[in-house]
Structure 1
Amino acid sequence: MSKLSNSIANAIINYVKGRHRLPIDGVPSNEDMLREAFHQALDYVNVKIYIDPEAKAKIPEYAHYENGHAVDAACDVCCTSVEIMEDGRIKCGTGIHVAPEDRDKVSLHPNSRITKAGLVIANSPCTVDESYRGEIFVVFRAIVPFSQAKKPGVGDVICQLETIHVRETRFIQVDNLEDLGTTSRGDGGFGSTAK
């Protein structure tokens, strides 16, 4: 059971155990405690992070806050080193190492600044599995002539980091295509809507 599942289960169990308890002398009601437990379990995720002091790395930050909480979907990640590789790819260090919780992953996405620079992240979105503990690197390739691409510099925001809860996929094999069910779309893809 993941930490998220455990937190939700414990919140419900604690609510049911004392569901008729009303607030007394500053002690919150069970309804208030259930709301807070769900808020903590569903709206926040803890990710342990190591910041390499030699790389002068920074903890990723949300750019915008309103009413005390982040309104961005992801945190900005800054570059701590730049290496131009022989094949023309640009490898940027971040100086950060992370340990997501059970069943979580960290995903790195390009931001608009990089797109405007004529670069793309080579394996976007990048996935940092819960078991990886090495430094996070972001690798770019140019989509314009290399000389015209604006290379990232140390201190530049190079991507956005998002933590996602991952549900384990269980495949249920069926005997024939019809067992998947029918939809109005069917097997239409690759521009089949002509839009």
Structure 2
Amino acid sequence: MSDVDVLIRRLDPEVPLPTYAHPGDAGADLVTTVDAKLGPGERAVLPTGIAIALPDGYAAFVHPRSGLAAKYGVSLVNAPGTVDAGYRGEIKVIVVNHDPREPVVFRRGDRIAQLVIQKVERARFHEVAELPGSARADGGFGSTGGYRAAGADNEQGREET
């Protein structure tokens, strides 16, 4: 893992800088600067109080926190959110409460997402009449299997019990 220098501006003087919880972590924790309560199915845009300047050839990706997902059903609507190298505004996180019954409450300073900085390539797109073949071809959207609905017939043709 190599280090990259990222310039950061605190828009809220009391907000902590993003930090890595453990050595080797890919994501640095982002916190919210506001209190918010989301009912079941609701979403909100939460500010983080920071803006960054990434070097050309890099992007930052805002990922959900697995603990929030497992404990409270919280995720990000556009996971991962993309912060382009040229963006200089405040990083904001679009959270959603997927829990069908319980609200979730965020307090100022709560960790709400992770910021992952990655080197990215720019593509040169070349239009062609036909694409070269591959073993997968146009198979997608579950074409390799791996999921069976509850009550579906098993491989021997019997219903699972």
Tell whether the structures are fold-level matches, with TM greater than 0.5. yes
Which residue, 36, 44, 54 being the options, matches 2:3? 44
Q: 1:77 aligns with which of 27, 30, 51?
A: 30
Code of the residue aligned with 2:58 in structure 1: it is D
Query: Contact 1:84–1:91 at 8 Å: present in 2 too?
Result: no
Larger Rg: 1
Aligned to 2:119: 165
Whether contact under 8 Å (1:118, 1:149) holds in the other structure is no
Identity of aligned residues (%): 36
Give the Å deviation of 1:113: 2.1
Shift of 1:62: 0.7
User: What count of residue pairs does the alignment treat as equivalent?
Assistant: 143
Q: What does 1:1-195 correspond to in 2, within 5 Å?
A: 43-54=2-13, 56-65=14-23, 71-83=24-36, 88-115=42-69, 116-145=71-100, 148-176=102-130, 180-195=131-146
Corresponding residue number in structure 2 for 1:15? none
Alpha carbons of structure 1 residues 184 and 53: separation in structure 2 relative to 1, 3 Å: closer
User: Quick one: distance in 1 between partners of 2:132 and 2:62?
Assistant: 34
Output the CA distance in 2 between the equivalents of 1:124 and 1:131: 20
Tell whether the 8 Å contact from 1:80 to 1:155 is kept in structure 2 after alignment.
yes
Cα shift readout 1:29-68 (whole Å, capped 9, x = no counterpart): xxxxxxxxxxxxx7111110001244x1111111112xxx
Cα distance in structure 1, aligned partners of 2:16 and 2:115: 13
Q: For the aligned residues, what is the CA RMSD?
A: 2.0
Cα separation, 2, equivalents of 1:150 and 1:111: 14
Quick one: higher RCO (CA 8 Å, sep 6+), 1 or 2?
2
Contact 1:47 1:98 in 2 (8 A): yes
Q: Normalised by the size of structure 1, how large is the TM-score?
A: 0.67
Gaps of 5+ in 2: 147-161
TM-score normalised to structure 2 length? 0.80
User: Structure 1, residues 57-92: CA drift from partner, whole Å, max 9, x if none?
Assistant: 111111112xxxxx111111112113569x932222
Unaligned runs of at least 5 residues, structure 1: 1-41, 66-70
Q: Compare the two structures and name the one with the higher strand fraction.
A: 2
Partner of residue 38, structure 1: none
Report the secondary structure of 1:137's partner residue.
strand
